[in-house]
Each structure stands twice: as structure tokens, then as C-alpha cells.
Amino acid sequence: MDFQLTEEQQMLQDTVARLVRDSYGFEQREQFYRSEAGFSRAFWQQLGELGLTGVPFAEAHGGFGGSGVDSLLIMTELGRGLCLEPYLQSQIHAGGLLQQLGGAEQRKRLLPVVIAGELQLAVALEEPQSHYHLHHVQTRAVRVEGGWELCGRKAVVIGGHSAGLLLVSARTHGEARDEQGISLFLVDARASGLSRRVYPTIDGPKACELYLDRVLVGDGDLLGEPGQALPALRYQQGRAIAAQCAEAIGSMEEACRLTLDYLKTRQQFGTPIGKFQALQHRMVDMRTELELATPMAILAACVADEADSEERSRRLAAAKFIIVHAGRFIAEQAIQLHGGIGMTWEYSLAHHAKRLVMLGHQLGDDDHHLEAYAQLLKTA
Amino acid sequence: MDINYTAEEFAFRDQVRAFLSAELPADIAERVRLGKHLGKEDHLRWQRLLNARGWYAANWPVEFGGTGWSVVQKHIFEEECAAFGAPRLISFGVNMVAPVIIKFGTPEQKARYLPRILDGRDWWCQGYSEPGAGSDLASLKTRAVRDGDHYVVSGQKTWTTLGQHANRIFCLVRTDPAAQPQRGISFLLIDMSTPGIGVRPIITLDGEHEVNEVFFDNVRVPVANRVGEENQGWTCAKYLLTHERTGQAGIGPSKAALAHLKQVAAREGRLDDPLLRAQIAEVEMQLMAIEVSTLRILAAAQAGGVPGAESSILKIKGSEIRQAISHLLRKVVGPYALPFLEEELSPAFAGAPLHADYSAGPASQYFNLRKLSIYGGSNEIQKNIVSKMILDL
Amino acid sequence: MKILVAVKRVVDYNVKVRVKADGSGVDLANVKMAMNPFCEIAVEEAVRLKEKGIASEIVAVSVGPAAAQEQLRTALALGADRAILIESDEELGSLAVAKLLKAVVDKEQSQLVILGKQAIDSDNNQTGQMLGALTGYAQGTFASKVEIAGDQINVTREIDGGLQTVALKLPAIVTTDLRLNEPRYASLPNIMKAKKKPLETLTPDALGVSTASTVKTLKVEAPATRSAGIIVKSVAELVEKLKNEAKVI
């Protein structure tokens, strides 16, 4: 057993932490949020220059060959700074799918530019009716000469507005909820017949709806075998969940820090409000949630890159469930302990609270993962 | 024991329902149901309709234009209004400052202000909280210094709800800095157009402009605008707080929100999810408990008792339940809680929604409703009240 | 030209330190440690000189516990070529550190030594100067600009109320001020390369240096907590308070 970071991991953490601290003050984040891209292209470029965009990719493809723990270190710091860049969606989730399902030619063509941070990817898996179920796919891909024709709609594609290439799940055969018959396609953002409606999400990053109206893609744009994408979609969602849990930890730590500072400085009834036992215990409860969420994020990071198994799925579902609950508790209590000031846009705490609550609306909410765990429950 | 309304009360309810069916504007009701923003004009339209029926000032004595309703009638009225999707009344004028003026005001003040509240000429806001005086309201520092027949007011108020619409503000100000905190406070009525008043918006985490900071820089207020005796403002404040605490549980709004939650869950195809059903059932049972609890307190009040610290319990549980419903509604819309579509929430929006008419509101509303357990005496302060007044701890 | 850079392991500047209950020092248990920020500036300056082709080798040196290897690795990741740790678990004063550095300077025969002007933990601001005295090298302290021309080095110093530029004849010692440069981030490839760079461990004994101290820390105290600010209503009140309460005018 060893919960220590290696020297290299320590340095990686220091680098990301300093980078975020220097570039992502709350005022700067506001500017990035209000910019056209909705994030900082300069910061993204810097992630590329420092090699950080290559961390989750195998060395064989020119990546750093980082472990889940390396991704955890990066995501935690990005979470602490409430960073708006689609690192999770592009490098971990979509990048993982490309690496897992892509053929030799696709990898050779795309991975170097993705690893360098020059091409952003996004995953378009959710649909208006799918409610986190990866196999609820109604978007259709029909075989045509030399390729496929896609029709349908993809919902709430985070980072989809800035991605050059979108990974779109579509049904090549079967019915709306069949597990078989789901394929994954690379769709160029400029493809004819593809339209996007872009909007900000309530916790900051931009997203879009994707409307596919007879979008033609070539044979070379199918990732993996036709109809066989679901296991990879599930596996890579697990990696994305681990990264999301790590991001949440950074945000929770910051929310707890800000709240503790406030309890020590805010005076009412002639004393710092942190002297009131009711509030002390609430702060202890927040800290306790964080204390239990952190090891679950570490657990998720450690199993994220393991071979697929029921045990891996169980642990990732458990991590997500625990962290969605902890995130909501910490968000709500942090606001409550702050009072009105915790609800104001100009204070970073409010944005951490939004981030922590909205975690549950991406990659499955607590109920979704509770059901998943219950399905896999060992009963003997 | 009989937990049912009397025949007369049922008849009254039918009367209210008939009125609401006929008069409540459908567009306003829809905005309320979907958790969208209401404009100033929405509120004023509804107030005028109620006033035309003589039902706007439900809590006032008949002689000033009130209804003379019993507490049970008021409860029925509030519940039916919420069920039909009527906007919650902006209480600062009609249900906060007016009762204080009626109880402590001079005949001139009553004649001057009450009619203007009824017909909507005056929109009042509340100048209580300050940056350094939130839960500890009595530590407020805004000063009013006597200068002939005027007070000169300087200081800052905050969390002033809808102050941007208001032409008048009632304020607690310190008139005797040497006295004990509660003793040196006076209650002033101030015209917002007086020179020296500045209003700055506070944008909340849901992007909404609902609250403000109000600055006073040597604002001259006639002494005739003081309600009650000088340095006796705390008495007015306490009296007002008892009014603020009626209808604390928010049973009507919670019931309406719960009905909406079930409709949305059905439309999202989520009602067959046993986990979700169980969570909706749980909040419905809690709501049932607090509803009967409210009726019990109302019955006691009807019989001449004064609602006491029990209203604090209602406020705590009522706000928790309303927040729990908003949490579930947010969950039910799934990924579509994420898009932050401010234009869809605005009163003027008439386009096609991104997903469904109900999906833009839930996340914003969930975050906005965190205020329920903070304002009007935070839930922690309510617990202090229960601990002191009921438990004698 | 060979450059020696001194690197100190200190509590990370973002950490709010807690004084131990017995007042003997600062509680270091589970506290994040990092390279002293002034030392980061020193490393950065050395790396820039190497990138300009002026320096041929950069040797990072640290005096401290075995864990100070972490800070040396960071220096290597930032661009130093090799590192030397003089391992000691004792709390060493500035003079002892200066003597140890002198021994390394003699051993390495470096032309230029760059140090931070002070460490953020002890705030002594004397190791560089002491090393100057021990070696007899020219010294340019509080540098905000460093230029090398032949065997001469021009150092612009931040002094009270202005700047002073001095020319030093090499070999020399430079201590860095805050505005000298903006240290870079350790990139991932460089972090990985740092792993393979040599790191030598020495002891004070091996260098033949006695580290016995003549200074003892008696007590460490946390700063007094700031009392809450107040808002004054008028200039007259401000003047009154400054005069009668703060007694500053």
C-alpha cells in the first residue's frame, strides 16, 4: 500500500497547480467565460506546450503514458481553478475512445495533433431521450456508397462548440434501446448537414446541441467495428468518471477552504460565526464528506485504466455516487454557511457550488450509478 | 378532532377557485409554473386584478380596504392561488410595511400610504440587512441624525429584494448610537427619489438581478416619515417579523411545485423509475406532515391563540421541502439542466425551447431557492428561536 | 562557464503555517513543501544564461534533509544539468550553509553562483553575502537584471528608492530579487528527463565542514491577528482617528 506521489507526480502537480494559480484567478475566469470560445485558448495552448494534453495517451502514440493518478492530479487542479477548458471531454474521454477504437491509420493521422493540443475533440453520446443511458441511441447511420449517412440529434455536447472533430454514437442496426448495433463515428465539425446550437452551461463551460441532417462520413470515419461500440463507450465513460471525480475534489477542497476562512472572519453577535458550535459541526460535516470523497476519487483513478471487469464498474459507480452526494452536500452547506454572499455571482464560491451540483448532470447522476451498482451487487 | 374544512370554508374555496379560473392571466401562470422570471408588469397586473376584486390586502382590517378574512380563509386563499400558478405577492408593501403603518402609524401616514399600496402606485422594498448586520440584525449601523424637522440618513443596506422596481423603502436606522443595540433603532419611510440614494444591483449565482445594495449618502428624510416613536423601531421590526412569518411553510407553492415535478417526470418518461418515484413519494409525505401541522397551528390561531415559535419550525421544514422538490426537478430533466438559457427564462421569450418549455427553469430555480433557508431569518436563526422559545434551552 | 545555483526546501508559499504549541518552531507535519520562490528565480536565470550560450553547465545545490531531493529534481526539471544534495537533518544557520556552499564552490570551481536573496521561511538574507565573504568573490545582491560581457557581469540591483548597476569581475556571486525574471513551468518532458539526470549526495563531514551553530532559536510566535477594519464617515473622522486612536499623525 502506498498513497504517496512519486517525485515526478509531485512535480506534475506543482506545475499544474502553479499554472492554474497564475492563469485562472476568478476575474480572469470571468473574462474567459464571457469570451467567444468560453475558455482560454492561450491556457489550452500552454497545456499543450507543457505536454499536459498528452498525459492520458500511450507512449506508443506519442503520449506521456500517464496513469489514472496522473490524470487525477491534473483534473484536481483544473477543478480547483474552475477551469473552463474541455480537457476531460477532449483528452480523456474522446481521446480515450480514439485510442481504444481507432485503427492504425486513424491513430496515426489524429493522435499526434490531439496530443499536441492542436485538435480538440468532443464526445456526442447523449440524446434528448437517453438520460445517461449510452445504449439509448436513436441517431441513425445508414450505409451508403463509400461511407455512412447520419441523421439525428445529440444533446448537451460539452465542448462541442470548439471541437474540430466530434465522436458521435449512432445506430447502424437494431431498435432504440438495443445494446447491439451502436457505432461510433468521427464527424468533422464543418461537415455539410451538421449544425450546432451553442450555449453556456449553468456551471460555466460552453456546450452545444448537435443536429445531424444527412451528414455524410467516409468509411475511414467509422471507429472500430460497426455496431460494436458500446463496450468501449462504457469503458471510456469510466475513465471520464474517474477524471470528473478528481475535478470535483479540487472544487470541494476550494469550497471548504473558502467556507472555513469565512467562518473565521465573519463577525455576527460580536464574535466570529465560527465560534458557534452548530456551525462548527456543519463545517466538520463538510470536511467529513470531503475526507471520504477524496479516497473514492483516488480509487477511481487507480482502477480507471485497469482492464474492464465488474469490479472496476462497481468501484467507478460507487465513486461517482459518493462524489455526487458529497458535492451536493458541500455546495449547499457552503452557501448556507456563507449566507447571502454565497449566492452572489461575483464570488467564486457560488461557481464552485454550481460546479459541484451540476456534476450529477454529466456522465450519470447519483440514481443512475446507484442503479448500476445495484445491478452489479454481489449478493453472496 | 376534524381535520376537514367547514362547509362555509369549502364554499369560500370554490369562490376563490372560480375567481382564479376566470381572472388569473394564463401567461403569468405559465411563467410561474415553469420557474421563469417575472417582470414588474406581471406583478402589477396580478395585483390590480386582485385589488379590483378586493382581495389584494387579505391581511388588512376591512376599514382600510382589507378582506377581514379568518386565518383559515387566508390559508385557503394562499393555497389556491399557488395551485393555480398565481405569482407570490411581493409582500414588502402589502404585507410588511402596511401592517406596521396600520398598527403604529399616524392617521396621516395611513391616509397617505395605504391607498397607494392598494392601487400599485407605490412599490416598497425593505431596508433591513446591512453588510455587517445579517443574522445579527440589531447590530445595524445606518445612521439617522436629527437636523430640525429632518433626519439625515447615511449608510448602506443590502439584499434589498426588487429594490430596482421600488419607489419607496422602509428602513431600520440607528438614531441613538449610545443605546443598547435594539433600543437605538427607528423605523423610517423613505422616498427612493430623494437625493443621495444609490441602488446597485447584486447579480446572484443564477445570473438573475433580484437583489440590490442601497446606499444612503446624507439623505434628508422628514421626521414625519418615522413610524412609531424615535428609538422604538425594533418594536415595529419585531411586529413586522411576525407578519413575515405567516405562511412560512409555503405549503401552496410546494404543492404546486410537486404537481409540476410529477408532470415533468411523466413527460420525461421517468415515472417508471422506482428510485425516482420513491424520492418523490418521500417529499410528498413530508409535505403532507407539514400541511397538517400548519392546519393545526391555524386552528389554534383561529381560536384566538397567537402563532408562536411554531412558525419557525414551519419555516425550517417548509424551506427544506421546497428545496428538496427543486432538487428533484433539476434531476428529472437530466442533462438538460445544464444549458443556461437566460433568454428562455425572460418574460418576453416566445421562441421554441431548446428541449422543452419546462427544462430551462429547474437548475436556475434550484440555485435561486437556496435563499429560502437564508432570508427572513436563516434556518440556523430559526433553530435558535425554537431552542429558546419552545425548548427553553 | 559553470554556474552553481543554490536551492532551498521551504514550506510552500501558499500554505498558512501553524506555530507549534510549544513555540519551538513551525509545524511541518503533512505540510506541503516547495522550492523557495527566490531560488526558483535563481534557477531560471541560470537556465536563461545557458540558453543564451553563456553558461555551459548548471549545478543545483541544496543543503537539507533527504527530502530536499524533491526540490533538486524540480531544479533539474527546470533545466539544471546535475544536482548535489548536502544531506543534513539539523537545522542549519546561514553561516553553516555558506561554509558548505563554499566547499562545493571550491570542488566545482564554478565561475558564477546564483542564490535567492533570502528564503521565505527564515528571512535571513545573508547566505549569499556570507558566501561572498568566505570565497572572496565579487557580489551583486538583490539583482533585478543580470548581463554578462566577457569576464565581467553587470548586475542591476534594487536598492531603496531606485536602482544601482554594478560591474563584477568573475568569479562572482549574485542574489536574486523578485523582479529578475518570471520562472517557467516545468514541462512534462523535462520532468521526465529530470529523472535521468545525476543527483549526488554529500555530507558535511565528507566536505570537511563543521556545522556547529552559535545561534539558537528561542521562540517562534504567530503574528497577532488583525482586528476588523472600520469604515469612517468623513475625512474629519478619519483624521481624528488617525490622530487619537492610531496615533500616526
CATH of the domain at A342: 1.20.140.10
d(CA A134, nearest CA chain B) in Å: 13
Residues A307 and A194 in one domain: no
Contact across the interface for A340 and B367, Cβ inside 8 Å? no
Reference B285, options B312, B247, B324, B316; nearest CA is: B324
**Do residue B222 and residue B279 come from a single domain?**
no
Min CA distance, A199 vs chain B (Å)? 6
Q: Are residues A87 and A167 in the same domain?
A: no
Rounded to the nearest 10 degrees, what angle do helices A310-338 and A348-358 cross at? 150
Residues A145 and A107 in one domain: no
A316/C contact by beta carbon, under 8 A: no
Q: Is C55:C46 a contact under the CB 8 Å cutoff?
A: yes
Range of the domain at B148: 124-233
Name the pLDDT band for A281 (thresholds 50, 70, 90). very high
- CA pair distance B196, B181, nearest whole angstrom: 26
Confidence of residue C216 (pLDDT cuts 50, 70, 90): confident
Examine the pLDDT at C229 and tell me if it is beyond 70: no
Identify the band that residue A273 occupies on the pLDDT scale cut at 50, 70 and 90: very high
Half-sphere exposure of residue B378: CA atoms within 13 angstroms, side-chain side: 19
Residue A149, all three cell numbers? 449517412
Residue B229 confidence (pLDDT) above 70: yes
Answer yes or no: do A51 and A162 share one domain: no
pLDDT band at C206 (very low <50, low <70, confident <90, very high): very high
- Nearest-Cα distance to chain A for B138, in Å, is 9
Tell me if A1 is assigned to some domain.
no
When pLDDT is cut at 50, 70 and 90, the band that residue B245 belongs to is low
To test the contact with chain A by mutation, choose from C185, C187, C199 the residue with the greatest count of A C-beta atoms within 10 A, namely C185
> Rounded to whole angstroms, how far apart are CA atoms B279 and B266?
15
| Range A242-256 burial, b when 16+ CB lie within 10 A, else e | bbbbbbbbbbbbbbb
* Cα distance between residue C63 and residue C6, in whole Å: 8
Instruction: Check if the beta carbon of residue C146 is closer than 8 Å to that of residue C180.
Output: yes
Q: Does A52 touch chain C (CB under 8 A)?
A: yes
- Top pLDDT among A7 and B261 is at B261
Do residues A131 and A21 share a domain? Answer: no
Residue among A19, A54, A267 minimizing CB distance to C185: A19
Q: Identify whether B154 is part of a domain.
A: yes
Q: State whether A268 and B136 contact (CB < 8 Å).
A: yes
pLDDT at B148 over 80: yes
Contacts of A10 in chain C (CB under 8 A): 70
Confidence class for position B89, pLDDT limits 50, 70, 90: very high
Neighbour-count burial of A307, counting CB atoms closer than 10 A to its CB (0-12 exposed, 13-18 middle, 19+ buried): exposed
The reply to whether A57 and A146 lie within a common domain is: no
Among A261, A260, A297, which residue's Cα sits nearest to residue A282? A260
**Number of independent structural domains in chain A:** 3
Average the pLDDT over B81-99 and give the result.
Answer: 94
Q: Reduced to 3 DSSP states, what percent helix, strand and coil does chain B have, rounded to the nearest 5?
A: 50, 15, 35
State yes or no: pLDDT of A77 exceeds 90. yes
Burial of B365: CB neighbours in 10 Å, binned 0-12, 13-18, 19+: buried
Q: pLDDT band at residue C231, thresholds of 50, 70 and 90?
A: low
pLDDT at C226: 65
The string of pLDDT tens digits covering residues B267-306 is 999 999 999 999 999 999 999 999 999 888 888 888 877 6
Which pairs with CB-CB distance under 8 Å and at least 24 residues apart come from B267-276? B267/B356, B267/B358, B268/A131, B268/B332, B268/B333, B268/B334, B269/A129, B269/A131, B270/A131, B270/B332, B273/A367, B275/A367, B275/A370, B275/A371, B276/A367, B276/B328, B276/B331, B276/B332
In this structure, are residues B369 and B206 in contact, taking their beta carbons and an 8 Å threshold?
Answer: no
Q: Which residue of chain A comes nearest to B343, CA vs CA?
A: A199
Per the structure, how many domains does chain B have?
3
CA distance A341 to A180: 51
> A74 is in which domain, residue-wise?
7-115
Residue A49: its chain C contacts at CB < 8 A? 187
* ω into C171 cis (within 30 of 0): yes
The answer to whether the CB of A157 falls within 8 A of the CB of A209 is: yes
Question: pLDDT band at residue B243, thresholds of 50, 70 and 90?
Answer: low
Smallest CA–CA distance from A62 into chain C, residue? C189
Is B2 among the domain residues? no
Examine the predicted complex and report whether its ipTM is higher than 0.90. yes
Chain C residue numbers with beta carbons less than 8 Å from the beta carbon of A12 are: 188, 191
Chain B window 128-187: which residues touch A at a Cβ cutoff of 8 Å?
Answer: 129, 132-136, 139, 158-159
- What is the chain A residue with the closest CA to C196? A8
* Shared-domain flag, residues B364 and B279: yes
Give the list of residues 6+ apart from residue A330 with CB closer than 8 angstroms, or none: A252, A255, A256, A286, A289, A290, A356
How distant, in Å, are the alpha carbons of A51, A62, A115, A165 from that of A54?
6, 8, 5, 17
Task: Determine what percent of chain C is predicted with pLDDT higher than 70.
Answer: 97
Q: Which residue in this structure is represented by grid cell 455526487?
A: A324
We report the CATH number of the domain holding residue C122 as 3.40.50.620
Coil vs helix vs strand at A157 = strand
Please name the residues in contact with B33: beta carbons below 8 A apart, sequence gap of 6 or more.
Answer: B85, B256, B260
Query: pLDDT band at B246, cuts 50/70/90?
Result: low
Contact map slice: B 306-335 vs A, CB within 8 A: 327, 330-331, 334-335
Which residues in chain B are contacts of A201 at CB distance < 8 A? 338-340
Chain B's closest residue to A202, CA to CA, is: B340
Mean pLDDT of chain A: 97
Q: Which chains touch C (3 or more CB pairs under 8 A)?
A: A
Q: Which residues of A touch B158 (CB under 8 A)?
A: 340
- Among C34, C77, C188, select the one facing A52 at the smallest CB separation: C188
| Same domain for B378 and B255 | yes
pLDDT digits (tens, 9 = 90+) for C132-187: 999 999 999 999 999 998 889 999 999 988 999 999 999 999 999 999 999 999 99
Instruction: Tell whether A152 and A59 lie within a shared domain.
Output: no
Amino acid code (one letter) for B6: T
One-letter amino acid of A226: P
C231 located within any domain: yes
Longest dimension (CA), chain A: 78
How many angstroms separate the Cα of B245 from the Cα of each of B12, B255, B287?
Answer: 24, 19, 18
Confidence check: pLDDT of A200 > 60: yes
| Range of lowest pLDDT (B63-67, B309-313, C155-159, C234-238) | C234-238
Residue among B237, B233, B238 at smallest CA distance from B143: B233
Inspect the interface and report whether the beta carbons of C73 and A7 lie closer than 8 Å.
Answer: yes
CB A344 within 8 A of CB B202: yes
- Mean of per-residue pLDDT scores for chain B: 93
The letter for the amino acid at B207 is G
Please report all neighbours of A, defined by 3+ CB atom pairs within 8 A.
B, C
Residue A48 · residue A108 · CB < 8 Å: no
- All 3 cell numbers of residue B241? 417579523
CA atoms within 13 A on the CB side of A295: 6
Q: Could you give the CA distance from residue B158 to residue A198 in angstroms, rounded to a whole number?
A: 35
* Selection from B136, B190, B199 nearest residue B165 by Cα: B199
User: What DSSP state is assigned to residue B69?
Assistant: -
Domain boundary among the residues A196, A226, A256 is at: A226
* Least CB–CB distance from A332: residue in B279, B370, B375: B370
Share of chain B above pLDDT 70, in %: 98
> Are C188 and A14 within 8 A, CB to CB?
no
Is residue B105 assigned to a domain?
A: no
Q: Which of A226, A245, A279 is the last residue of a domain?
A: A226
The pLDDT tens digits for A144-195 are: 999 999 999 999 999 999 999 999 999 999 999 999 999 999 999 999 999 9
pTM exceeding 0.90: yes
Q: Which of C73, C188, C194 sits opposite A54 (nearest CB)?
A: C188
Residue the block writes with cell 469604515: C231
A73, A100, A115 - which closes a domain? A115
Same domain assignment for residues A100 and A149: no
Q: Tell me what the pLDDT averaged over chain C comes to.
A: 92
Given B244, B268, B291, B310, the catalytic residue: B244
State mean pLDDT over B340-367: 94
Same domain, A245 and A357: yes
Residue B356 falls within a domain, yes or no?
yes
Interface touch C191/A18, C-beta < 8 Å: no
Write down the pLDDT at residue C227. Answer: 65
Interface test with B, best of A33, A123, A343, A363 (most B CBs within 10 A): A343
What's the gap in Å between the CA of B13 and the closest CA on chain A? 37
Asked if the model's pLDDT at residue B389 lies above 60, the reply is yes
Would you say residue C249 lies in a domain?
no
Residue B190 has pLDDT above 60, yes or no: yes
Lowest mean pLDDT among C130-139, C204-213, C239-248: C239-248
Interface test with C, best of A4, A7, A11 (most C CBs within 10 A): A11
Domain-located, residue C160: yes
Among A150, A219, A125, A140, smallest CA distance to A173 is for A140
Coil, strand or helix: which one is A24?
A: coil
Can you give the CATH number for the domain in which A105 is found? 1.10.540.10
Q: How far is C-alpha A26 from the chain's CA centre?
A: 21
Q: At what angle do helices A230-265 and A277-303 cross, to 10 degrees?
A: 150
Nearest to B310 by CA among B294, B334, B288: B294
- The full length of chain C comes to 249
List helix spans (H) across chain B.
7-23, 26-33, 40-53, 71-84, 91, 98-104, 107-118, 233-244, 251-267, 274-302, 310-332, 342-345, 361-368, 379-385
C-alpha cell at A42: 492561450
| pLDDT of amino acid B230 | 95
- CA torsion A361-A366-A371-A377 (nearest 10°) is 140
Q: CA B233, CA B186: separation in Å to the nearest integer? A: 4
Please tell me whether residues A340 and A214 are part of one structural domain. no
Asked whether A309 and B176 are in contact (CB, 8 A), the reply is no
B244 is catalytic: yes
Please answer yes or no on whether C69 and A49 come within 8 Å at the CB atom.
Answer: no
Question: Of A141, A126, A118, A60, which Cα lies nearest the Cα of A93?
Answer: A126
Residue A68 shares a structural domain with residue A199: no
Q: At what angle do helices A348-358 and A26-34 cross, to 10 degrees?
A: 60
Q: Does A228 touch chain B (CB under 8 A)?
A: no
Q: Does residue A135 sit within a domain? A: yes
How many angstroms separate the CA atoms of A202 and B362, rounded? 11
CA distance C47 to C194: 14
Q: Which residues from chain A sit within 8 angstroms of residue C228, using beta carbons?
A: 267
Domain holding B306: CATH number? 1.20.140.10
Total number of domains constituting chain C: 1
CB-based contact, A267 to chain C, within 8 Å = yes
Query: C214: which 3 cell numbers?
Result: 552559535
In the numeric block, the cell 407605490 is attached to B122
> Within an 8 Å CB–CB cutoff, is residue A30 touching chain B?
no
Residues of chain A with C-beta less than 8 angstroms from the C-beta of B378: 336, 339
The shortest C-alpha distance from C191 to chain A (Å) reads 6
Which residues make beta-bridge pairs with B169? B125, B190
A-proximal residues of B, 251-270, CB under 8 Å: 268-270
Q: Which of residues 52-71 of B touch A (CB under 8 A)?
A: none
Residue C226 falls inside a structural domain: yes
Q: Residue type at A130? A: S
Q: Is the pLDDT reported for residue B68 higher than 70?
A: yes
pLDDT surpasses 80 at A82: yes
CB within 8 Å of B27: residues ≥ 6 apart: none
Considering the domain architecture, whether residues B209 and B134 belong to the same structural domain is answered as yes
- Rounded CA-CA distance C154/C144 in Å is 11
In a domain, C178, yes or no: yes
End-to-end alpha-carbon separation of chain B, Å? Answer: 32
Domain carrying residue C20 = 2-244
